[in-house]
Amino acid sequence: MGSRLELSNAIRALAMDAVQQANSGHPGMPMGMAEIAEVLWNHHLRHNPANPHWFDRDRFVLSNGHGSMLLYALLHLTGYDLPLAEIKRFRQLHSKTPGHPEYGCAPGVETTTGPLGQGLANAVGMALAERILAAEFNRDGLDIVNHYTWVFVGDGCLMEGISHEACSLAGTWGLGKLIAVYDDNGISIDGQVKGWFADDTPKRFEAYGWQVLRAVDGHDFDAVERALTQAKTQSQRPTLICCKTIIGKGAPNKQGGHDCHGAALGDKEIAATRANIGWNHPPFEIPAAVYARWDARARGAAFEREWDQKFTAYEKAHPQLAAEFKRRMTGELPANWRAQREALVTKTNAKAETIATRKASQNAIEALAPALPELVGGSADLTWSNLTMWSGSKVVSRSAGGNYIHFGVREFGMAGIVNGVSLHGGLIPYAGTFLVFSDYARNALRVAALMKIRAIHVFTHDSIGLGEDGPTHQPVEHAAALRVIPNMDVWRPCDTVEAAVAWIAAIERKDGPTSLLLSRQNLPFQTRTAGQIAAIARGGYVLAEAQGKPQCVIIATGSEVQLAIDARKALAEQGIAARVVAMPCTAAFDRQDEAYRASVLPQGVVRVAVEAGTSDFWRKYVGLEGAVVGIDRFGESAPAGELFKYFGFTVDNVVKTVRSVL
């Protein structure tokens, strides 16, 4: 039988061998956290390798994702469907073991990590989701939602600002089932961190309201065991376990220094490491006794059987709640969803309101949320500007669950937490801020798109229409910046009906995030046929046909659609037939078949795009022979009406631009 030290050395061996074979990677962290990982995964983590999606499993997040071989080694050793062949293909094309953990590649990887600190924010979101769902579904003696979220973090994670944003909130919310293990090895790629990271980390987290367990020897199995056990006794506060470790532990000539952080050890050092730790086995060879001690499949099956028995009793006692729980866990929308969404569109179209699209967005939430108890939203201290709250909103707090989150001024942390909520399952999260502040959240938006998860972002004050707040708050390049993120759907609706359709599309989309760009100012209602309403979901459609064969196509979004309509009329008076195409979502339009796209944007007809943002993006639709009425500079501080005139968003200028390309 393998000893605990042999079990941890198996992690070291797999990590250094995989990195060496790839000649790329980070062996130091897996080697330094091997003992901590052994204690957690063999003695505390509730999971089932045979069913990685078992709902009430503990979540494990490797926030210091550069040390991905730690996670891959653990998944392989404990019995997940991650064979040794994939370990040998570490960092190779189309392997299940990419350089940083990627959600959806290997079973058991709960989130994509690598951009440091984001995994920690994801973990906060997962713990928050557990809290919200537990408050909603658990009943006396039948706690069907009851699991921990564990997260490993390093110095780099804690240097990143997102760690402050997320951990401050975790402390405020009192997320007692969130346990973070800090790999305090004092080393980053550039060397010893004391020259640039001199924070008193324990005091910092105590100030957040966390329980902090200081100076734990990360290589002492018993000390780590005591710390993890103590952490689980604290139900009112999250816990940070500060573990002192030696990076590259076991490598006699490189441990404790930055040389083992982000590079293969080399054949000579690996041979020396094998001798030093007593690992007398060839590369990628694990003794059967070690495999047997690591195998968690029987234990995992027992965990799940225990839960299944509890859920059977729950079903008998609370059949309606149980049915709702099962629906939520599968991610299916309610049976009456189609009727709800159709009613929203029909009612919205009938009311024909001229209002801001941020208000239209709130109306959509108000209509859809009662049918979607899984909808959980919030705002980064802009609730009354983003209009993200509805009449049934219940604020999440330290003492209660709910469906509305006050994130405070924490855009990046908010987006990272939202990703964690989405990944956890059972909830559909949305979050609000001004569009200009999407910059703060951008990397979390990008990672959401990479993971192909459902996360909805409500970005209001979408243009120079913001007015007097000036160029610091006026998004110019932001719509284009979001649109070029692969797998990000960006909707910029022109009125209430397009806003309703955008919300429906965002909720129904399961394979990626959605950004809703919404106006501060009122936008006029556009009259449509039933066919045009149906076509909105296709991302682009003919809103107003030319009088006769079109000589040009004017493409517009959001607040500029009415401008395009007015320009079409003025052009008609000059004998120029113009078609107006509303394109609320370019990504959705690009997914349509070629025949549909050609029917909307016919070949050989000159095109002009109109949008109060940077112009370059629209060249993909108008070509070099067309033109764009846009803004390729920063804004000014003035009333919105004055700004639109100043920057050329007038009927006269659109007409002039069209005539210039005919």
Contact 318, 31 (CB under 8 A): no
- Name, in order, each residue with C-beta under 8 angstroms of 308's C-beta and a sequence gap of 6 or more: none
The burial class, CB within 10 Å (0-12 / 13-18 / 19+), for 310 is middle
Between β-strands 375-379 and 428-434, what pairing exists: parallel, antiparallel or unpaired?
parallel
**Start-to-end CA span in the chain (Å):** 82
**Separation of alpha carbons 5 and 34, rounded Å:** 9
Sequential DSSP letters for 58-104: PEEEESSGGGHHHHHHHHHHHT-S--HHHHHTTT-TT-SS-SS--TT
Tokens of 147: 């699991």
- Dihedral angle over CA of 460, 463, 466, 469, nearest 10: 110
- Phi, psi at 228, each rounded to 5°: -65, -40
Lookup result for tokens 């394109």: 583
Q: How many residues does the chain have?
A: 662
The one-letter code for the residue type at 40 is L
Q: Which amino acid type is present at position 294?
A: W
Check if the beta carbon of residue 27 is closer than 8 Å to that of residue 310.
no
Q: Radius of gyration (Cα) for the chain, nearest Å?
A: 27
Provide the pairing of β-strand 578-582 with 541-544: antiparallel
CA 516 – CA 493 distance, rounded (Å)? 8
Q: Name the token pair of 227.
A: 């710390």
Cβ atoms of 124 and 417 within 8 Å: the answer is yes
Report which of 588, 208, 534, 239 is spatially closest to residue 542, judged by C-alpha positions.
Answer: 534
Which member of 6, 35, 165, 411 is catalytic? Answer: 411
Examine the residue annotation and report whether 269 is marked as an active-site residue of this protein: no
Q: In sequence order, what DSSP letters do the residues of 225-270 get, joined into one string?
A: HHHHHHHHH--SS-EEEEEE--TTTT-TTTTTSGGGTSS---HHHH
- Nearest-angstrom CA–CA distance, 420 and 170: 13
Q: Which residue has the tokens 């975790």?
A: 170
Residue 406 in tokens: 């006050």
Instruction: Supply the DSSP string of 388-449, one letter for each residue.
Output: ---TT--B--SS---SEEE--S-HHHHHHHHHHHHHHSS-EEEEEEEGGGHHHHHHHHHHHH
Residue type, 260: C
Query: Which residue is associated with the tokens 């201290």?
Result: 381
* Residue 69 token pair: 């071989």
| DSSP letter, residue 16 | H
Residue written as tokens 């004017």? 554
Which residues face 217 on adjacent strands?
244
Coil, strand, or helix at residue 318? coil
Question: Which amino acid is present at 170?
Answer: A
Q: Long-range CB contacts (< 8 A, 24+ apart) of 645-653?
A: 647/464, 647/612, 649/560, 649/563, 649/610, 649/612, 650/563, 651/563, 651/566, 651/567, 651/570, 652/570, 653/629
Q: 247 near 29, Cβ under 8 Å?
A: yes
Which residues does the annotation mark as catalytic? 411
